[in-house]
């Protein structure tokens, strides 16, 4: 049931993007719309596989993560103006390629979750959010921070990964050893996802309302 609610929030965020994004909207919002479309498709396929007991969904999520995290970096890139901040994004792109080849060909099997890359992507996403908050604070006297592009999206990503990141390292152990705690983790992740996609939908509306 929670999966259906979660997927419906992704779809609602995607629809809000279709409604509120203009031709003149920043490019990273259009990237976000593509991100939501792929996310909704991946979650729907994985839900169908799990519901019908057709096999493992790990391989789908592995490829999705190597799509998701670099795209998040690409979305944040236009928000950064200093060379140092941009270099952090470029470093993450290089690490993503390195982790992809290392994990698929040497460390993990394709049907195992690449938890080390999830951890890396989560840490860098939190870093991107903090850098964006820092840039907003630097120019907050010029505009309302709450109506700044990507503020609510960054807030959603920040609290989502802040809430889930501590569990990444013990995720496999939780699933294998403690079913009750694993179920509580599942509820936490889905709840934070609902929170994230609600803020994404809100940000679409705000950028439409306040865009000049």
What confidence category does residue 173 fall into, taking pLDDT thresholds of 50, 70 and 90? low
What CATH code would you report for 2-210? Answer: 1.20.1070
Q: pLDDT tens digits, residue range 179-193?
A: 556 667 778 788 889
Give the mean model confidence (pLDDT) for residues 201-208: 92
What confidence category does residue 29 fall into, taking pLDDT thresholds of 50, 70 and 90? very high
What confidence category does residue 172 fall into, taking pLDDT thresholds of 50, 70 and 90? low
What is the average pLDDT value for the chain, to the nearest integer?
A: 87
100: pLDDT strictly greater than 80: yes
| pTM for this model (two decimals) | 0.90
Parse the chain into domains and list their residue ranges.
Answer: 2-210
Contact residues for 173 (Cβ-Cβ < 8 A; gap 6+): none
How far is 40 from 24, CA to CA, in rounded Å? 25
How confident is the model at residue 181, as a pLDDT?
A: 61
Identify whether the C-beta of residue 157 lies closer than 8 Å to the C-beta of residue 129. Answer: yes
How confident is the model at residue 112, as a pLDDT?
A: 75
How confident is the model at residue 143, as a pLDDT?
A: 72
CA-based torsion, 147, 148, 153, 157: positive or negative: negative
How confident is the model at residue 122, as a pLDDT?
A: 93
How confident is the model at residue 155, as a pLDDT?
A: 96
């Amino acid at each position: 049931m929670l999966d259906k609610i979660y997927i419906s929030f992704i779809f609602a965020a995607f629809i809000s993007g279709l409604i509120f994004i203009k031709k003149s909207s920043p490019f990273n919002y259009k990237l976000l719309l593509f991100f939501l479309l792929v996310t909704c498709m991946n979650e729907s396929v994985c839900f169908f596989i799990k519901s019908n007991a057709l096999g493992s969904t790990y391989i789908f999520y592995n490829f999705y993560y190597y799509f998701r995290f670099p795209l998040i970096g690409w979305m944040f890139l236009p928000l950064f103006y200093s060379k140092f901040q941009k270099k952090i994004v470029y470093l993450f792109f290089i690490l993503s390629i390195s982790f992809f080849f290392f994990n698929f060909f040497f460390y993990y099997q394709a049907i195992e979750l690449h938890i080390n890359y999830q951890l890396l992507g989560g840490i860098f996403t939190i870093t991107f959010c903090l850098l964006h908050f820092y840039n907003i604070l630097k120019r907050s006297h010029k505009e309302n921070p709450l109506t700044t592009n990507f503020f609510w999206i960054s807030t959603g990503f920040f609290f989502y990964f802040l809430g889930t990141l501590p569990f990444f390292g013990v995720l496999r152990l939780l699933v294998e050893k403690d079913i009750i705690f694993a179920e509580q983790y599942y509820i936490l992740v889905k709840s934070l996802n609902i929170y994230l996609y609600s803020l994404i939908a809100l940000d679409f509306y705000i950028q439409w309302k306040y865009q000049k």
